[in-house]
Amino acid sequence: DTGVSQDPRHKITKRGQNVTFRCDPISEHNRLYWYRQTLGQGPEFLTYFQNEAQLEKSRLLSDRFSAERPKGSFSTLEIQRTEQGDSAMYLCASSLFGQLSSGNTIYFGEGSWLTVV
């Protein structure tokens, strides 16, 4: 399967613990995105990378959240000192920027469900 891969798919953690999610984008894609989705809502943009550079962070991304893409390939999203309000699905997506507009289409992974108890 050459789609966007996320791990783990499900995570249950106690409030105050740290969690980390990993995303492997489509191999040739240079852009990688993180979105968050809560029940009954559409996904909301958190941050994105072009290659290894993090180019924008949403105000939704508090100081407890940090994302990295050290080699311009896979990415990690870490949440420190988790709170119950962090419970959501964290979606990773990727795209190939630089070609015609049709190449900028964003493809999503299957998501990582986080439940903070």
Partner 1 sequence: GQQLNQSPQSMFIQEGEDVSMNCTSSSIFNTWLWYKQDPGEGPVLLIALYKAGELTSNGRLTAQFGITRKDSFLNISASIPSDVGIYFCAGSNSGGSNYKLTFGKGTLLTVNP
Contact between 81 and 16 (Cβ < 8 Å): yes
82 binds partner 1 (CB under 8 A): no
Min dist CB 58 to partner 1, Å, is: 8
Residue with tokens 């550079």: 53
Query: Least distance from C-beta 48 to partner 1, angstroms?
Result: 5
Nearest to 54 by CA among 43, 69, 65, 64: 69
For residue 8, what are its two tokens? Answer: 């783990």
CB of 19 to partner 1, least distance (A): 18
Residues 14-73 that bind partner 1 (CB under 8 A): 31, 33, 35, 40-45, 48, 55-56
